[in-house]
Amino acid sequence: MRGLRLLGSVLAILVALTTAASLSAEDLRNCAASETRQARREASHLGDWEGVYRSFKRFESCDRGKLAEEYSYAISRLLAHHWEQVDVLLGLAASDQEFKRFVLRHIDENIPEEEAQVIISNSRERCPSEGKWLCQAIVDY
């Protein structure tokens, strides 16, 4: 499991560096403290992939610190407890590469261990053919 975490951390760092490079200083300044608070409240109640996507589009420049942790928790809840919705995630990710990177970035060390085990099991046993990129990223984590 330690090796998976190390690999996941390396993947998260690479994605974060790529994302950080694409965000300008102006983008980061435009995230007011009130937006971050609002985004955190919203992220803690996300219950489907459409909601995650809308929140990502609205607050993507705020995705750091505690908000990033909240997104990781929301994504892990969906992957662990609502795998039947993974086709919605795959559709959104296919049409928006930034969202795909966002989801991959949040498959990280903030995911609770018991949820991580369920997610890994889902990806190994129930992976849709068009979701191989996601399942492989999960198993490699």
Q: pLDDT tens digits for 58-117?
A: 999 999 999 999 999 999 999 999 999 999 999 999 999 999 999 999 999 988 999 999
Within 63-112, where are the H helices? 65-81, 86-95, 97-105
The mean pLDDT of 13-24, rounded to a whole number, is 44
Confidence tier at 24 by pLDDT (50, 70, 90): very low
Output the average pLDDT for the chain. Answer: 84
pLDDT class of 1 with cuts at 50, 70, 90: low
- The mean pLDDT of 25-53, rounded to a whole number, is 84
Give DSSP secondary structure letters for 4-71: HHHHHHHHHHHHHHHHHHHS-HHHHHT--HHHHHHHHHHHTT--SHHHHHHHHHHHGGG-SHHHHHHH
* Total domains in the fold of the chain: 1
**Residue 2 pLDDT grade (very low, low, confident, very high; cuts 50, 70, 90):** low
Percentage of residues in the chain with pLDDT exceeding 70?
Answer: 79
User: Which residues form the domain of 91?
Assistant: 2-140
